[in-house]
Structure 1
Amino acid sequence: MDILEKQLICPICLEIFTKPVVILPCQHNLCRKCANDIFQASNPYLPTRGGSVTSGGRFRCPSCRHEVVLDRHGVYGLQRNLLVENIIDMYKQESTSSRPAPERTDDQPMCEVHEDEKINIYCLTCSTPTCSLCKVFGSHKDCEVAPLKSVYQVQKTELTDSIAMMVGNNDRIQGIISQLEETCRAIEENGRRQKSHVCEKFDHLYAILEDRKSEMSLKVTAEQEEKLNYIRGLKRKYEDHLENVTKIVESGIQTMEEPEMAVFLQTAKPLLQKMSEATNTSHLEKVERGYENMDHYSVDFKKERGALSAVNFITDEDEEEEEGDVVGAEKDVHKEQVTSGGANAGLLSSQPAPLPLPPNPVMNTSS
């Protein structure tokens, strides 16, 4: 019976369940009054009728903290546990038949001053339980007292209400904690998404820079190859001319060694003609001074460095200015092209400005 009694104790009022007994979705039981008290404490702003909440809401089970969601009938929509109510009736019948008198002499405390007297009254002035003799003859004779049972009921009700209020406060705090956790998750997700967007923008900027670098490098390489090919061709012409002159000189030396005058004269005249023609270099081109210079391909990224250093997140003012620029561009597209064509031909432009042509590589010179 003692074990059974422990199973029939309400976790809120700490007494045997009072009818009707309601069963929660988590299979724990409560007195309907206790369930209503917890519900009111968890939902203080819901409308009440006759001291009972009849609209939908939620609260947590005091035993397992499982959230109980109620419909529009409120606590009265919970199912009654008729089995527990029948067990309570059987327990009370068995308890009254097996126990002749509910004497609790062993458990009831005795007065410390009057050891033979039971504590049966409550001193309201001193806020302490005492016995009747203390009120009549003892230290509490001038104090205001009340029956122990009435004070017990009042304080038990206050304690029950406080427990219900604490449970409701815990539910609200748990709700706030859940909201904060959700906010943390949202902040982490938003941060990851925005960092991904920023990285995509920078990757796009890197791609533009790489494309522009390739285009400008190709221009320099093209002129470099053009100049090299021309210089190498001119070098071959001079080498061929030098080889021809060398052969003529060797022929002249051999002719100078000829002892026969007739043979010498026959050979000397055409040789002099060849020497005269060989000394004429008018058909050979000469490289203009500074032809090897490639300084016209130098770049200055001071403006672009300033623009890249100023890269930042968009503010409301920037959005307003950008909208104004778009509207102005739509009104006068031709004017925008004329006035900003040079300024927009910088590093980040998708339509780069043409590079300057190299100077006239060679000039024909006569000897």
Structure 2
Amino acid sequence: MSLPLDIRSDHKDPSMGTLEKQLICPICLDVFTKPVVILPCLHNLCRKCANELYQPSLFQVGIGGRFRCPSCRREVVLDRHGVYGLQRNLLVENIIDVYKQELQESESSRPPPPKPLPQFNCADHEDEKLNIYCITCQVPTCSLCKVFGAHKNCQVVPLPDVYLQEKAELNDRVASLVATNERVQSFVNELEALCRNIEENSRIQKQILCKKFDRMSAILEERRKIMTQQITSEQKEKSGWTQSLLQTYSEHVDTNSKLIQEAQNAIEEPEMASFVQISKDLIVKVGEASNCFTLETLDPDYENMNHYKVDFDAEERVLHQMDFLEIEEEVEETPDEQESEPESEPEPVLTPEPDPEPDQDLKSEASEMTNPTPETPETPEDNWEQEGGCGDIRKEAVCEKNSLSTSQVVTLALYFLAFLVILQRIWGSIQCLTCI
């Protein structure tokens, strides 16, 4: 609370006057009002004055701002709390309290100044009261001014009549202003409620939208795992078959190498009798080893994995076209327009399922997390498959997926038959090895 100027001017204590100069705010040029904030440059300001200097409306809420100190012109940077983030100078506030108390004590010791008397008498005739109103000059006056004074040629009326008339008109204007203010305040309250509803509805819609995108991401992740598992399964199958062949033929090579070494040692035997004794068995073994050896014929593209082709162009186009549903207003057609238009079969319209309530979504997700099922989650493509047709981009994408899955089944069947043939040949090779 600031002190009156007459109190500060009448104070005759020089020490108090010097103290007062140190307690003057450089903005309002009055004694600091609580709370007093201290700037980083150690100068003081009233919080109200600092807030007016800061002008937070010019900055974004919650970001902060900056202004210059009015004393030293140093730039002051504020955080997101604005002026309320500055520290209070409690020492200056205590000095102000002591200063005000000293002034009140000195003021109470002096007699109060005389109050000026209201002027209800005429300025030209001191003994005459103001009892009439000059309509021409729009000022109250006395009867002598009408008879002998400056208003003798003016139109006048009794002062009580003007008083009642002006008072009634002022009351009517005040009542009208009060009614207008009430209507404006009611509209302000409606606008505040509207802002709160907009923020709440926006928050709910954002939450629903994020939940939908999370669900779509979960479906994509599940499909990625399933398709990756298919490639991994075939990889394991081909790698296992190749490793088994590698082990079998490696053992066969080792056995033949030992047989060759034994035959070469026998050929180098200088004793004819000893060679003849072992030559017959070696000839039989080498012949059987040469005749029983058969190489497995593999598919030239056995290591190729290009049959796992994917084409997500249609899905990408659908994702790029994702947007909010447009509510089309129904337009009533006139009988003439209905007769002029040719009759056509109604096209099937894909209507999205109504969004479940947020609580139901949370319960269903919680139940899925607690009771996981190995079944593939139902996707929107499944619903489109049941309805049939490939009219739009999404249905074309589904049809492409269906044809791709059929080709995969045929390919897997062919690979299974080839696998049976390869097993049969391996079994024949193993029988030949057992004969050795």
Task: Give the TM-score taking structure 2 as reference length.
Answer: 0.52
| Cα distance change on mapping 1:216 and 1:286 into 2, 3 Å | same
Larger Rg: 1
| Cα distance change on mapping 1:139 and 1:277 into 2, 3 Å | farther
| Cα distance change on mapping 1:342 and 1:136 into 2, 3 Å | closer
Are the aligned partners of 1:117 and 1:131 in contact in 2 as well (CA < 8 Å)?
yes
Q: Secondary structure at the match of 2:133?
A: strand
Q: Deviations over 1:154-204 (max 9, x none)?
A: 111111222222222221111111100100111011001110111111111
Distance in structure 1 (CA, Å) of the matches to 2:156 and 2:308: 107
Q: For residue 196 of structure 1, what is the aligned residue in structure 2?
A: 207
Gap runs ≥5 in structure 2: 1-116, 332-345, 352-383, 429-436
Q: For residue 297 of structure 1, what is the aligned residue in structure 2?
A: 308
**Are 2:349 and 1:325 aligned?**
yes
Distance in structure 2 (CA, Å) of the matches to 1:318 and 1:287: 65
**Are 2:315 and 1:313 aligned?**
no
1:127 Cα deviation after fit: 1.8
Counting aligned pairs with the same residue, the percent is 41
Higher relative contact order (CA 8 A, sep 6+): 1
| Cα distance change on mapping 1:206 and 1:283 into 2, 3 Å | same
1:115 Cα deviation after fit: 3.3
- Residue identity in the other structure for 2:397: A
Q: Secondary structure at the match of 1:149?
A: helix
Q: For residue 185 of structure 2, what is the aligned residue in structure 1?
A: 174
Distance in structure 1 (CA, Å) of the matches to 2:164 and 2:205: 61
Q: For residue 344 of structure 1, what is the aligned residue in structure 2?
A: 398
Q: Deviations over 1:213-234 (max 9, x none)?
A: 1110111011011101100011
- Residue identity in the other structure for 1:225: K
The within-5 A match list for 1:83-94 is: none
The within-5 A match list for 1:215-234 is: 215-234=226-245
Are the aligned partners of 1:304 and 1:346 in contact in 2 as well (CA < 8 Å)?
no
| Cα distance change on mapping 1:117 and 1:191 into 2, 3 Å | same
Distance in structure 1 (CA, Å) of the matches to 2:133 and 2:142: 8
Q: Secondary structure at the match of 1:287?
A: coil
**Structure holding more helix per residue:** 2
Q: Deviations over 1:268-318 (max 9, x none)?
A: 232122222323465441322121111111322222111111111110249
Distance in structure 1 (CA, Å) of the matches to 2:329 and 2:281: 86
Q: For residue 40 of structure 1, what is the aligned residue in structure 2?
A: none
Distance in structure 1 (CA, Å) of the matches to 2:264 and 2:330: 88
Are the aligned partners of 2:121 and 2:130 in contact in 1 as well (CA < 8 Å)?
yes
The within-5 A match list for 1:49-198 is: 107=118, 109-198=120-209
4+ residue segments displaced more than 4 Å: 317-320, 333-336, 338-342, 358-366
Are the aligned partners of 2:314 and 2:397 in contact in 1 as well (CA < 8 Å)?
no
Q: For residue 278 of structure 1, what is the aligned residue in structure 2?
A: 289
Distance in structure 2 (CA, Å) of the matches to 1:118 and 1:299: 106
Aligned residues: 254
Distance in structure 1 (CA, Å) of the matches to 2:264 and 2:400: 65
1:258 Cα deviation after fit: 1.6
- Residue identity in the other structure for 1:242: V
Distance in structure 1 (CA, Å) of the matches to 2:220 and 2:406: 16
Distance in structure 2 (CA, Å) of the matches to 1:241 and 1:344: 51
Q: Deviations over 1:330-350 (max 9, x none)?
A: xxx999536577632568x9x
Distance in structure 2 (CA, Å) of the matches to 1:111 and 1:171: 42
Q: Secondary structure at the match of 1:186?
A: helix
| Cα distance change on mapping 1:339 and 1:155 into 2, 3 Å | closer
Task: Give the TM-score taking structure 1 as reference length.
Answer: 0.61
Are the aligned partners of 2:390 and 2:399 in contact in 1 as well (CA < 8 Å)?
no
Gap runs ≥5 in structure 1: 1-105, 328-332
| Cα distance change on mapping 1:241 and 1:317 into 2, 3 Å | farther
Q: Deviations over 1:30-86 (max 9, x none)?
A: xxxxxxxxxxxxxxxxxxxxxxxxxxxxxxxxxxxxxxxxxxxxxxxxxxxxxxxxx
- Residue identity in the other structure for 2:209: V
Distance in structure 1 (CA, Å) of the matches to 2:151 and 2:398: 99
The within-5 A match list for 1:259-274 is: 259-274=270-285
Are the aligned partners of 2:256 and 2:289 in contact in 1 as well (CA < 8 Å)?
yes
